[in-house]
Structure 1
Amino acid sequence: MPIYVYWGEDDFAMEKAIAVLRDRVLDPNWISFNYTAFPPEQADAAIQGLNQVMTPTFGAGGRLVWLINTTLCQHCPENVLAELGRSLPVIPENSFLLLTSRNKPDERLKSTKLLKQFATEFREFPLIPPWKTELLVQSVNQAAQTVGVKLTANTAQLLAESVGNDTRLLYNELEKLRLYAQGSNKPLDVDTVTKLVRNTTQNSLQLAAAIRTGDTAKALTTLADLSNASEPGLRIVATLIGQFRTWLWVKIMIESGERNQQAIAKAADIGNPKRIYFLQQEIRLLSVQQLIYCLPLLLELEVSLKQGASEMSTLQTKIIELCQVCRGN
Structure 2
Amino acid sequence: MTLTMGIYFFWGEDDFAIAQTVQTLRNSILDPNWIQFNYHQIAGEDPNSTIDALNQAMTPVFGMGGRLVWVVNTSICQQCSEDILTQLQRILPAIPDSSHLLFTTSKKPDKRLKSTKLIEQYAEVREYSPIPPWKTDELIHKVKQVAQEIGVKLTPNAVKLLGSSVGNNSRQLWNELEKLQLYAQQENKPLDETIVATLVNANAQNSLQLAEAICKGNQAEALQLIDELLSRNEPALRIVATLVGQFRTWTIIQLQLEAGETDNKIIAKAADIPNPKRLYFLRKELQGISSQSLLATLPILLDLETRLKRGHNPLETLQIKTIELCELFK
Band the TM-score falls in, shorter-chain normalisation: over 0.9
Which position in structure 2 is the counterpart of 1:260? 263
Find the aligned partners of 1:305 and 1:258 in 2 and give their Cα distance.
37
Which position in structure 1 is the counterpart of 2:68? 64
Matched, 1:130 2:133: yes
Is the deviation greater in 84-93 or in 206-215?
84-93
Identity of aligned residues (%): 55
SS of 1:158's equivalent in the other structure is: helix
Which position in structure 1 is the counterpart of 2:327? 324
Which position in structure 1 is the counterpart of 2:96? 92
Which position in structure 2 is the counterpart of 1:104? 108
1:27 aligns with one of 27, 31, 34: 31
Cα distance change of structure 1 residues 69 and 253 upon mapping to structure 2, 3 Å threshold: same
Matched, 1:74 2:83: no
Cα distance, 1:76 vs structure 2: 1.5
Question: Aligned AA for 1:17?
Answer: T
SS of 2:171's equivalent in the other structure is: helix
Unaligned runs of 5+ in 2: none
Is the deviation greater in 313-322 or in 61-70?
313-322
Which position in structure 1 is the counterpart of 2:196? 193
Cα distance, 1:261 vs structure 2: 2.4
Find the aligned partners of 1:266 and 1:278 in 2 and give their Cα distance.
16
Which position in structure 1 is the counterpart of 2:318? 315
Question: Aligned AA for 2:178?
Answer: E
Is the deviation greater in 122-131 or in 182-191?
182-191
Which digits, 9 at most, give the CA deviation of each residue in 1:246-266, with x for residues without a partner? Answer: 100110111011122233222
Find the aligned partners of 1:192 and 1:2 in 2 and give their Cα distance.
42
Which position in structure 2 is the counterpart of 1:241? 244
Find the aligned partners of 1:286 and 1:169 in 2 and give their Cα distance.
34
SS of 2:103's equivalent in the other structure is: strand
Find the aligned partners of 1:153 and 1:53 in 2 and give their Cα distance.
45
Cα distance, 1:305 vs structure 2: 2.0
TM-score by length of 1: 0.94
Question: Aligned AA for 1:239?
Answer: T
SS of 2:260's equivalent in the other structure is: coil
Cα distance, 1:18 vs structure 2: 1.0
Find the aligned partners of 1:268 and 1:45 in 2 and give their Cα distance.
42
Aligned residue pairs total 326
Find the aligned partners of 2:114 and 2:311 in 1 and give their Cα distance.
36
Q: CA RMSD in A?
A: 1.6
SS of 1:122's equivalent in the other structure is: strand
Unaligned runs of 5+ in 1: none
2:227 aligns with one of 220, 224, 233: 224
**1:246-325 to 2 correspondence within 5 Å?**
246-325=249-328
Q: Indicate if the aligned counterparts of 2:300 and 2:321 stay in contact, CA closer than 8 A.
A: yes
SS of 1:274's equivalent in the other structure is: helix
Find the aligned partners of 1:43 and 1:118 in 2 and give their Cα distance.
22
Cα distance, 1:183 vs structure 2: 4.3
Find the aligned partners of 1:40 and 1:96 in 2 and give their Cα distance.
17
SS of 1:67's equivalent in the other structure is: strand
Q: Indicate if the aligned counterparts of 2:45 and 2:74 stay in contact, CA closer than 8 A.
A: no
Find the aligned partners of 1:261 and 1:117 in 2 and give their Cα distance.
39
Find the aligned partners of 1:309 and 1:85 in 2 and give their Cα distance.
48
1:17 aligns with one of 15, 18, 21: 21
Find the aligned partners of 2:93 and 2:265 in 1 and give their Cα distance.
48
1:159 aligns with one of 159, 162, 165: 162
Question: Aligned AA for 1:124?
Answer: E
Cα distance, 1:273 vs structure 2: 2.3
